[in-house]
Amino acid sequence: MNPETEYREGLDQLAAHYHAVLRLLGEDPGRDGLQKTPMRVAKAMQVLTRGYAQNPHKVLTDALFEEKYNQMVIVKDIDFFSMCEHHMLPFYGKVHVAYIPNGYITGLSKIARVVDIFSHRLQVQERLTQQIKDCIQDTLKPMGVMVVVEAKHMCMQMRGVEKQNSITTTSDFSGAFNQAKTREEFMNLLRGESKRI
């Protein structure tokens, strides 16, 4: 556990609920291995939902730089883990973001931080995609943004339909990406092999 993690209000209550959950699942929460488990799970769940307490707009505005560059900027292969709001099971994969600046650029890491914030909330993949796009569009006001998310959903792998290999792809875009040619340019660059640098 990261010693710098700040846990939010309600941690003890959350742990008490997980104590009850263990019992309801047929376990003995008093046995050696499980004594600390309710608190561990409560802390883990607070980490996985830390995005509720974070402001993605502020992350971007804190690192806005005036710059004349007005070609496409692509940050691809941003790993993420999120939890589906239906089953609270993980879905995970990669986010690819492209934007065309309009006088301002943002720090590259900030794009990944925005992904991190929205994915650390209960989500559906479509909304995650849209929220990342909207946040960059509304804050940076670029000529356009496009976001592509590729993910595997554990609620489809471990339970339910039990399909191990299906990948869900979602995308959303604005502005210049309304033009098929611009979207194509991004998709072609996404498909290209990343060079080792």
Ligand X SMILES: Nc1nc2c(ncn2[C@@H]2O[C@H](COP(=O)(O)OP(=O)(O)OP(=O)(O)O)[C@@H](O)[C@H]2O)c(=O)[nH]1
Contact set with Zn ion (CB under 5 A): 84, 86-87, 155
Is-contact 139 131, C-beta < 8 A? no
Separation of alpha carbons 145 and 101, rounded Å: 9
Q: Near ligand X by CB under 6 A, which window of 94-102, 140-148, 155-163, 173-181?
A: 155-163
Residue 131 binds to ligand X (criterion: CB under 6 A): no
Flag whether 135 is marked binding: no
Over the window 44 to 83, marking each residue x when it contacts ligand X by CB under 6 A and - when it does not, the resulting string is: ----------------------------------------
Is-contact 136 97, C-beta < 8 A? yes
Flag whether 155 is marked binding: yes
* Binding partner at 75 among ligand X, Zn ion, none, C-beta below 5 to 8 Å by kind: none
CA distance readout (Å), 117 to 66, 92, 122, 128: 24, 14, 11, 10
Residue 19, SS3? helix
Separation of alpha carbons 117 and 102, rounded Å: 24
Binds ligand X (CB under 6 A): choice among 114, 140, 156, 176:
156
Question: Residues with catalytic annotation?
Answer: 84-87, 125, 153, 155
Binding residues for Zn(2+): 84, 87, 155
